[in-house]
Homo-oligomer: A and B are copies of this chain.
Amino acid sequence: MSSILGSRAPYAGGVTRPLALAVDLGGTKVEAALVDGSGIVLPGSRHRRPTGPTSASPALERAVREVVLAARAAVPADAELLGLGVGSAGPIGVAEGTVSPLNVPAWREYPLRRFIEDLLPGTPVTLRMDGVCIALAEHWVGAGRGAGNLLGMIVSTGVGGGLVLGGRAIPSPTGNGGHIGHIEVGGFEDPCPCGGRGCLEAVASGPRTVAWARGQGFTGTTGEDLAVAHASGDPVALAAVERAGTAIGRAAASASSLLDLDVVAIGGGFSRVSPALFEHARAALAERTTFAFVTRTTIVPSGLSDEGPLIGAGALVHQSDLLDRPAV
């Protein structure tokens, strides 16, 4: 089974190279790739298809099938496929293996775990929320290495997250623990698609921040437009980024009051709008409270590339000892 090339030598003791097949299902795309035991995505193994709010279930199934089988075909001859790790946008049902991603309306309690099990019979499948995967990835190879209590946050079209507590994924009966986007931020009343008001996601996501800026006269339409305007010193863009960063910092302070966090690691497209987003978040956390156990929490950029969600899905396999075991 071993390759004739020395660069892909078998593991010590003759054990073949263990790989995870990682799947990341989001509101705009589904991806799959192979992830090795060091958290490295194998070059050439990554495949992507669109998902989105208008896709019907058969199209979504075809997209998942294609990326999974393409990644499977990339498994080297000297490697062993340990299992599949699947991260999905929430909510999910971890015991049932179902997904109901807010931005993929065609799937409500869709049995994704079973569908993927049937694609590769005999290979175990572990499903968790994408935020949990991100937190595991930050803890494994990102900005949260060595942290005991970590919140991984994604600020993008929405605001998602996941928790590592005591060096392990948060125990979560339904699998949905880590929804930082739906805790309230004091002083805000912005309506949220979840049904609430003043949720962090409703205040600080990329689209919501752009919408707020447009209400103040900003003429751009995207987070990229806002980034350009911010870099040129546009006052409305400066205020919009301050508003989003402040909300993020206040939510981080609430989360740390409850969870005694060491690190909040923030990634996602809109997190890169400006480094000022982080400065405002840190300032808001520092102003928020006099409790040293909260102000000690560090807010840092994600240590992951855009491969983070796949690496985190791979961690579901390679770091399975850090997972809560649901009662199924």
The chain A residues found within 8 Å of chain B, CB to CB, are 91, 148-149, 163, 165-168, 170-189, 194-199, 250-251, 253-255, 257-260, 262, 287-294, 296, 324
Assembly of this chain: how many copies?
2
CB distance from A83 to the nearest CB of B (A): 22
Q: Are A165 and B174 within 8 A (Cβ)?
A: no
Return chain B residues, CB-CB under 8 Å to A257.
179-183
Contact with A198, one of B149, B182, B187, B296 (Cβ below 8 angstroms): B187
* CB nearest neighbor in B for A166: B171
Q: Are A186 and B174 within 8 A (Cβ)?
A: no
Return chain B residues, CB-CB under 8 Å to A254.
182-184, 254
Contact with A176, one of B148, B293, B324 (Cβ below 8 angstroms): B293
A324 to B167, CA, bound (A): 11
* CB nearest neighbor in B for A192: B289
Return chain B residues, CB-CB under 8 Å to A170.
165-166, 259-260
CB distance from A85 to the nearest CB of B (A): 20
Query: 24 A-B pairs, CB-CB below 8 angstroms?
Result: A91-B292, A148-B173, A149-B173, A165-B170, A167-B171, A168-B171, A174-B260, A174-B293, A175-B260, A176-B291, A177-B258, A177-B259, A181-B257, A183-B183, A183-B255, A184-B251, A186-B187, A187-B187, A187-B188, A187-B198, A194-B289, A254-B254, A255-B258, A258-B258
Q: Are B289 and A258 within 8 A (Cβ)?
A: no
Q: Are B290 and A195 within 8 A (Cβ)?
A: yes
Return chain B residues, CB-CB under 8 Å to A255.
183, 258
CB distance from A218 to the nearest CB of B (A): 25
Q: Are A253 and B91 within 8 A (Cβ)?
A: no
Contact with A187, one of B149, B194, B197, B288 (Cβ below 8 angstroms): B197
Return chain B residues, CB-CB under 8 Å to A175.
260
User: 3 tightest CB-CB pairs across the interface, nearest first?
Assistant: A166-B171, A186-B198, A184-B186
Q: Are A171 and B182 within 8 A (Cβ)?
A: no
A291 to B91, CA, bound (A): 8
Q: Are A172 and B260 within 8 A (Cβ)?
A: yes
* CB nearest neighbor in B for A189: B187
Q: Are B182 and A185 within 8 A (Cβ)?
A: no
Return chain B residues, CB-CB under 8 Å to A165.
165, 170-171
A187 to B60, CA, bound (A): 39
Contact with A148, one of B171, B188, B196 (Cβ below 8 angstroms): B171
CB distance from A104 to the nearest CB of B (A): 16
* CB nearest neighbor in B for A324: B166
A198 to B188, CA, bound (A): 10
Contact with A289, one of B163, B196, B296 (Cβ below 8 angstroms): B196
Return chain B residues, CB-CB under 8 Å to A176.
260, 291, 293
Return chain B residues, CB-CB under 8 Å to A253.
184, 196
Return chain B residues, CB-CB under 8 Å to A250.
184
Return chain B residues, CB-CB under 8 Å to A258.
163, 177-180, 183, 255, 258-259
